[in-house]
Chain A
């Protein structure tokens, strides 16, 4: 149960709070682009924590997670843009998007209950592709998603008259649009962290972990594996839906391109690279994998000029090349992730008795 905070952890929390509050102002010194990158890092952390429920806790390998994000994003885009002339308020759309994503999660989950491991992976992957293909093509004969062009002019997040786009003055401090979104995203991220943390140590969370370790044994001790697996899919999907809605509002634009398989894979990579099933690790993974490509984007060109006197290799492909190599190297030297949970680390240091059959 919750204990009262010791002075040390209280100090730690205070420092983290100050850092979180100050961060967007520090990032803004490098330009608003960096605030946006920061926002994406938090959004991806949110997504990765949602996926962590499915993959990390329940052990269900989901390669189509981006589909739920897409459902949330398109729900927002269709219900709050000139495309259908609808402008629903946030308290209607966000829960609605989450509910739709949740239903999508159950729809995906129910036929796949019997599947194990890699079979599940390919089915979820296929599901993600199906969703993307539909979004790409549902512009004829009835124009629903506007096809590959996507939907533009999506409403920003608004609470009453307070809009999150554009600069506004709060208590004499001028806040830009991305900076306001930053605080919204941090609040949402804290929410998902709390949910993850509480789930992990709950009856449900322990049941998930039992399923993850050995499904047959879990069934034998009376865990309702069917309902719990569906619950894991539904919860993960709902978080994906919420993140999608915010993404849509923040960008003001969605198109099927943002929801390709590589995105699902990147989110999975964040979870695994950071340390599966360990909340701080997952956050670290998400932040690193979002920020690293951006840092490389700014660094690769100038570094080449400095060394060779000119740009030899296309910076865009070189940056992804380095990114891929970094993925391989991190996993090579830290197989359990950069910041694994203590139990997982212990499992790995005890030598396995035989090669997995």
Chain B
């Protein structure tokens, strides 16, 4: 039973990171109907920028808390700029192009960003500076750390902020209108270009926050880390019903928990035949099973789109 609780906690932490990244995918998809394949790389850049900024500041003798804040700020700002330029370079010129064209430019940008990161930061694993003190808690036989608590709290707060933005502000209303029907929204005076750019910028900011959390959690970063993370987060977004904000959040948390439980129990379930290195297939098997019964995800609405 304590393994169960332990894995739920681990899954919740991992899942809230997935959820933050998944929101970036789902916002862009909801508004433009486009998979932003380069989003995982944005997260990666966010992590590596934090390493450089916070690491340098800590070495220069700045208090850790202040350095962490500075690292987070710089990382969020640079990812926002990156998201904005991604949209301008790779997506805006192709808004009326065939559906698969922006997918290929997205892949191209993803390759560019990955190799750019490799040129700048090198191909070795980098250690993430310890931004938070290591404090352990115990609850009903399960162990968790301060870092885990803070990750869950920050992602919760960030998501609440996003929901406020989308449902209580004018920009949010414009975004919802655009996602329903861009042509009509623009007739109502919504500046479509601005709304789309905003979706990219906000999504990238969330990605940067997630990137910093991944770095703090695993204490390691690498120029290729964005790929698998992005893939899982995208899976989470689809699981919840892509284009749906609440779906992305729940999908992310659910995916994290399923993965953790799967990794914890697969050995027992298969009598030791399959080991925990099969962890990664859980995400995909669950996805396939869910989509078999709910073809537009758990919370996605039925659309008559012509894909």
Contact = CB atoms under 8 A, between A and B. Distances in A.
Interface centre among B101, B104, B114 (most CB of A within 10 A): B104
B140 interface: no
Contacts of B306: 214-216
Interface in B147-197: 181-183, 192
A336 B100 CA distance: 9
Contacts of A261: 231
B233 to A, nearest CB: 11
Contacts of B33: 356-357
A327 B305 contact: no
A327 B108 contact: yes
B231 A140 contact: no
A136 B99 CA distance: 33
Interface residues of B, number: 61
A192 interface: no
Interface string B226-252: 000001001100100010000000000
Interface stretch (A40-48, A113-121, A243-251): A113-121
B68 interface: no
Interface in B1-35: 29, 33, 35
Given A118-B35, A272-B100, A348-B98, A327 B107 contact: yes
Contact of B94 (A137, A321, A332, A357): A332
B112 A111 contact: no
Contact of B35 (A121, A140, A344): A121
A331 interface: yes
Where chain B touches its partner, the secondary structure class is helix
A323 B108 CA distance: 8
Contacts of B93: 332
Contact of B118 (A119, A314, A323): A314
B297 interface: yes
Contact of A116 (B94, B100, B277, B295): B295
A343 to B, nearest CB: 12
B251 to A, nearest CB: 12
A355 B242 CA distance: 20
Interface stretch (A4-12, A14-22, A76-84, A126-134): A126-134
Contacts of A55: 100
B244 to A, nearest CB: 13
A317 B114 CA distance: 9
Interface in A327-357: 327-328, 331-332, 335-336, 344, 348, 352, 354-357
Given A117-B305, A130-B281, A133-B280, A335 B97 contact: yes
A313 interface: yes
A332 B111 CA distance: 16
A331 B104 contact: yes
Contacts of A332: 90, 93-94, 105
Nearest to B109: A328
Nearest to A217: B306
A223 to B, nearest CB: 15
Contacts of B60: none
A140 B89 CA distance: 47
Contacts of A265: 107
B142 interface: no
B296 interface: yes
B278 A116 contact: no
Contacts of A320: 111, 114-115
A225 B99 CA distance: 21
Interface centre among B100, B105, B274, B284 (most CB of A within 10 A): B100
A127 B285 CA distance: 8
A355 B288 contact: no
A119 to B, nearest CB: 6
B35 to A, nearest CB: 6
A114 B108 contact: no
Given A324-B108, A325-B112, A116 B305 contact: yes
A273 interface: yes
Contacts of A326: 108
A242 interface: no
Interface in A94-145: 111-112, 114-123, 125-127, 129-130, 133-134, 136-137, 140-141
B110 interface: yes
B287 interface: yes
A276 B307 CA distance: 15
Contacts of B183: 354-355, 357
A61 interface: yes
A204 interface: no
B136 interface: no
Contacts of B192: 355
Interface string A201-230: 000000000000011100000000000000
Contact of A272 (B89, B104, B278, B305): B104
Contacts of A288: none
Contacts of B123: 314, 317
User: Nearest 5 A-B pairs (CB), nearest first?
Assistant: A117-B307, A327-B108, A126-B284, A324-B111, A335-B97
Given A119-B297, A317-B115, A335-B98, 11 more contacts: A116-B295, A118-B238, A126-B287, A129-B280, A133-B280, A268-B104, A324-B109, A326-B108, A331-B97, A331-B104, A355-B96
29 contacts: A111-B291, A119-B295, A123-B288, A123-B291, A126-B283, A126-B284, A127-B284, A129-B280, A133-B278, A215-B306, A272-B100, A276-B98, A314-B118, A314-B123, A317-B115, A320-B114, A321-B111, A321-B112, A321-B115, A324-B108, A324-B115, A328-B89, A328-B105, A331-B108, A336-B97, A348-B97, A355-B96, A357-B33, A357-B305
Interface of B: 29, 33, 35, 89-90, 93-105, 107-112, 114-116, 118-119, 123, 181-183, 192, 231, 234-235, 238, 242, 272-275, 277-278, 280-281, 283-285, 287-288, 291-292, 295-297, 304-307
